[in-house]
Amino acid sequence: MTPTILNDATAPAVQKEHASGSFDAVKVREDFPILTQRVHGKPLVYLDSAASTQKPRAVLDTMQRFYAEQYSNVHRGVHQLSQVATDLYEDARRTVQRFINAEREEEIIFVRGTTEAINLVAQTFGRRELGTGDEVVVSAMEHHANIVPWQMICQERGAVLRVIPMNDHGELDLDAYADLLGPRTKIVAVTHVSNALGSINPVREMIRIAHERDIPVLVDGAQSAQHLPIDVRQLDCDFFTLSGHKMYGPTGIGVLYGKKALLDRMPPYQGGGDMILSVTFEKTTYNEVPFKFEAGTPDIAGAIGFAAALTYLRSFDIHEILAHEKDVLQYATETLSGIDALRIVGTAEEKASVLSFTLCAIHPHDIGTILDQHGIAIRAGHHCAQPVMQRFGIPATARASFAMYNTREDVDRLAEGIEQVLEVFT
């Protein structure tokens, strides 16, 4: 499969204060206060970053300063603090814009996260575009957040959900994908990186194929934007979603990117303050994008904290982060493959930072609980991707997921922990 590693050469230059030519994860760890914690008396090994990443001091300090010194509501007051807060909030939008190389700042809509971003598109674009017999195409490896919102709107509109199959490695079948697209296909919604398998999907190629048939594409970037350079213009995706908390930012904030022409055509999502130009009891005129989609007081501190996380990320060379994370994943894959009883689930050629596995018939929850006793945090379960589990004929997996602060030493500790699990159960 073609890797979806993009060149972000078009993104504006930023000060790469950490980019010295050799990425130092041990030094990076010093930026994350929580990583010095002990859990059950053991040094924490945090291997659950696909669920949520930890936060660097730059984010914590920025949010503390905002609440302590700069806080007010946005887009409302004439007073100084409101202007400061509004400037910071709108600067945050531009920081996201630069991070994903969007053409215009209005294309950046702040939402709660990927889940809300996809619901927004389903409920606005979907409700407007889908009719009886129309089709929405998703893949076999979607998170529930990129299945259920489409099912809901399909049910309401009499439309049908179609699914791109995958092979036993966890790679999408692109021929089957092309065959699925037809005159009734109104949108393709596909994840960039699978949270359960780690597969990196060839979204650029998938977008090209869909666009040949004038079909718009939403890319779920919840698991990709923290690992891979993202350039929405190069991808040419119509929608792209981000979750701040998976990108070293706070919870409660994320982004829907959409091409302006599409966003302009879409009806509002929620009604309320900020999304209007004028209101009478007879008629309301809506505001322009992005405000049309940002009803009510937004997560101001979240947006500002998210921007601090992106600025932190961009102070490194993303290609160096990528190389480091690839090294850790490869080392983990080799190390865990050496454990006879262990089966890796998800063996795609192109993978990012996720290692799902099963261990004989030991329930993943038991694996997770014993590892926790050794200070090792992993996730166990279906990872909100039940169809993936069904596809592989298993109820659940144990999942180690990596971020820029993980090291080969973390992998060694995981391998030791797995040996302890095996000792308990055999």
- List active site positions: 384
- Quote the least distance from Cβ 312 to ligand 7TS, whole Å: 19
By beta-carbon proximity to ligand 7TS, the closer residue of 85 and 230 is 230
What residues between 16 and 75 interact with ligand 7TS by CB under 6 A? 50-51
Phi, psi of 140 (to 5 degrees): -70, -10
By beta-carbon proximity to ligand 7TS, the closer residue of 18 and 112 is 112
By beta-carbon proximity to ligand 7TS, the closer residue of 161 and 384 is 384
Q: What is the dihedral of CA 407, 413, 415, 419, to 10 degrees?
A: 180
Binding mask 165-204 for ligand 7TS (x = CB under 6 A): --------------------------x---x---------
By beta-carbon proximity to ligand 7TS, the closer residue of 160 and 384 is 384
298 binds ligand 7TS (CB under 6 A): no
* Contact (CB, 8 A) for 247 and 309: yes
Amino acid sitting at position 372: D
How many whole angstroms separate alpha carbon 71 and alpha carbon 64? 10
Pairing of strands 42-43, 354-359: unpaired
Binding segment for ligand 7TS (CB under 6 A), chosen from 24-32, 67-75, 218-226, 311-319, is 218-226
- Quote the least distance from Cβ 145 to ligand 7TS, whole Å: 4
The backbone region for 248, taken as left when phi is positive above 0, alpha when psi lies in -120 to 50, beta otherwise, is left
Separation of first and last alpha carbons in the chain = 39
Which of 74, 137, 145, 329 is close enough to bind ligand 7TS by CB under 6 A?
145
Amino acid sitting at position 134: D
* Contact (CB, 8 A) for 362 and 393: no
- Quote the least distance from Cβ 424 to ligand 7TS, whole Å: 25
How many whole angstroms separate alpha carbon 38 and alpha carbon 237? 42
- Quote the least distance from Cβ 122 to ligand 7TS, whole Å: 13
Residue with tokens 């690992």: 227
How many whole angstroms separate alpha carbon 145 and alpha carbon 280? 36
Binding mask 225-244 for ligand 7TS (x = CB under 6 A): ------------------x-
- Quote the least distance from Cβ 194 to ligand 7TS, whole Å: 7
The backbone region for 189, taken as left when phi is positive above 0, alpha when psi lies in -120 to 50, beta otherwise, is beta
* Contact (CB, 8 A) for 230 and 221: yes
- Quote the least distance from Cβ 232 to ligand 7TS, whole Å: 17
Which of 220, 238, 299, 325 is close enough to bind ligand 7TS by CB under 6 A?
220
How many whole angstroms separate alpha carbon 65 and alpha carbon 222? 27
By beta-carbon proximity to ligand 7TS, the closer residue of 100 and 422 is 100
Which of 201, 223, 226, 287 is close enough to bind ligand 7TS by CB under 6 A?
223
143 binds ligand 7TS (CB under 6 A): yes
Binding segment for ligand 7TS (CB under 6 A), chosen from 30-38, 111-119, 226-234, 296-304, is 111-119
Helix and strand numbers (H, E) in the chain are: 15, 17
Query: Would you list the DSSP string of 375-409?
Result: TEE-EEE-TT-HHHHHHHT-S-EEEEE--TT--HH
383 binds ligand 7TS (CB under 6 A): yes
Binding segment for ligand 7TS (CB under 6 A), chosen from 36-44, 97-105, 112-120, 403-411, is 112-120
* Contact (CB, 8 A) for 359 and 342: yes
Q: How far is Cα of residue 121 from the mean position of the Cα atoms in its chain?
A: 16
Residue of 196, 157, 202 lying closest to 178 (CA atoms)? 202
By beta-carbon proximity to ligand 7TS, the closer residue of 237 and 422 is 237
What residues between 351 and 380 interact with ligand 7TS by CB under 6 A? 379
Residue with tokens 């859990």: 39
Radius of gyration of the chain (CA): 22
Binding segment for ligand 7TS (CB under 6 A), chosen from 57-65, 109-117, 122-130, 317-325, is 109-117
Binding segment for ligand 7TS (CB under 6 A), chosen from 120-128, 215-223, 268-276, 285-293, is 215-223
What length does the chain have? 426
Report the interface residues with ligand 7TS, using CB under 6 A.
50-51, 113-115, 143, 145-146, 191, 195, 220, 222-223, 243, 379, 383-384
